[in-house]
């Protein structure tokens, strides 16, 4: 199993225990549980907490794509959004809920085309893109990445935990 921070490791175990990530089920037959980490066929993705990065002059988030030893994947496209929610802690897993009922606004985004993730490798992508400024606001944030990969029908969606950023 790939090395994940303790919280993410627990989340993956909980999902697996609940039968949401049955290793024997084909990817197209599995539900999209979203959440902190989605593993599929030895590969997956997760988002770090949104956080302040001095070099970006504001808040950013990182999406990490990783494959276990002996597995590889090609991500054919990925779109990520960083949402600012002001003084309201976002809840739930749907962007429409964050924006429609909770007042969150997308403040930064990134769009990546095809890239490969090798065996036992982790590839990191940033929102906003490297060289662009981070979000300047203090308050609650949440982020979401939707990506496509070869061998999987449809998109896979992962999101960060909500984070209060005050530097």
* pLDDT tens per residue, range 9-46: 333 333 332 333 333 233 332 333 334 566 778 999 99
Residue 94: what pLDDT?
A: 78
How many domains does the chain contain in total?
1
Residue 116: inside a domain, yes or no?
yes
> Greatest CA span in the chain, whole angstroms?
45
Distance between CA atoms of residues 125 and 32, nearest Å: 21
- Give yes or no for a contact between 104 and 94, defined as CB atoms under 8 angstroms apart: no
What's the confidence (pLDDT) of residue 15?
33
Domain containing 96 — which CATH number? 2.60.40.10
pLDDT in tens, 52-89: 999 999 999 999 999 999 999 999 999 999 999 999 99
Tokens at residue 34, please? 């979203």
Query: Cβ of 156: how many Cβ atoms within 10 Å?
Result: 21
**Assigned domain for 25 exists:** no
Establish if 23 belongs to a structural domain: no
Which residue segment(s) compose the domain that 63 sits in? 6-18+32-165
Burial tier of 99 (Cβ tally within 10 Å: 0-12, 13-18, 19+)? middle
Q: Are strands 58-67 and 51-53 parallel, antiparallel or unpaired?
A: antiparallel
Answer yes or no: pTM beyond 0.85. no
Question: Which residues on adjacent β-strands are paired with residue 124?
Answer: 64
Residue 131 lies in a domain: yes
């Amino acid at each position: 199993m790939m090395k994940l921070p303790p919280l993410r490791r627990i989340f993956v175990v909980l999902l697996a225990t609940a039968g949401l990530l049955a290793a024997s089920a084909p990817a197209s037959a599995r539900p999209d549980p979203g959440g902190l980490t989605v593993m599929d066929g030895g590969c997956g993705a997760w988002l770090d907490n949104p956080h302040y990065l001095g070099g970006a002059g504001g808040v950013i988030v990182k999406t990490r794509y990783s494959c276990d030893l002996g597995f590889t994947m090609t991500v054919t496209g990925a779109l990520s959004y960083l949402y600012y929610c002001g003084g309201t802690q976002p809840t739930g897993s749907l962007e429409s809920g964050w924006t429609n009922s909770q007042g969150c606004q997308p403040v930064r985004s990134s769009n990546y085309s095809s890239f490969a993730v090798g065996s036992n490798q982790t590839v990191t992508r940033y929102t906003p893109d490297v060289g662009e400024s981070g979000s300047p606001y203090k308050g609650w944030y949440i982020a979401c990445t939707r990506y496509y990969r070869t061998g999987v029908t449809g998109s896979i969606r992962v999101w960060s935990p909500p984070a209060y950023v005050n530097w």
